[in-house]
Amino acid sequence: MVTNCSEGGVLGPVPGVIGTLQALEAIKILSGVGEVLSGKLLLYDALTVSFRTIKLRERNPDSKVEQLIDYELFCGAKATDKDLPLTVLQKSDRISAATFSSIRSSGFPLDY
């Protein structure tokens, strides 16, 4: 059985790395500069900080999507079935970036 990210977890910085790579691909496609990864699969191993590219087969022109299906119904679970409702800090418990910077520059420790 394959677990989902909610169950198995995600190594924190990895979504940022992948998101940055996706943004770079979008810029390359829109600007027409560089070599795009269209028709390829980029594999990233965060534990060894290594990349590998695999060429994908061409799409079979005879295959067609006949109808759309409900993914959650097909899988038997909601896409967010493991996510608990997000609890956000109360407004009184928040500070702005400017206030935080001021506190840090005045020498106060972070655990005040």
The answer to whether residue 24 is domain-embedded is yes
Domain of 21, in residue numbers: 8-56
CB atoms within 10 A of CB 10: 10
Confidence tier at 112 by pLDDT (50, 70, 90): very low
The answer to whether residue 22 is domain-embedded is yes
The answer to whether residue 80 is domain-embedded is no
The answer to whether residue 14 is domain-embedded is yes
Span 81-96, pLDDT tens digits:
555 666 667 778 888 8
The answer to whether residue 46 is domain-embedded is yes
Return the HEC string of 27-52. HHHHHCCCCCCCCEEEEEECCCCEEE
The number of folded domains in the chain is 1
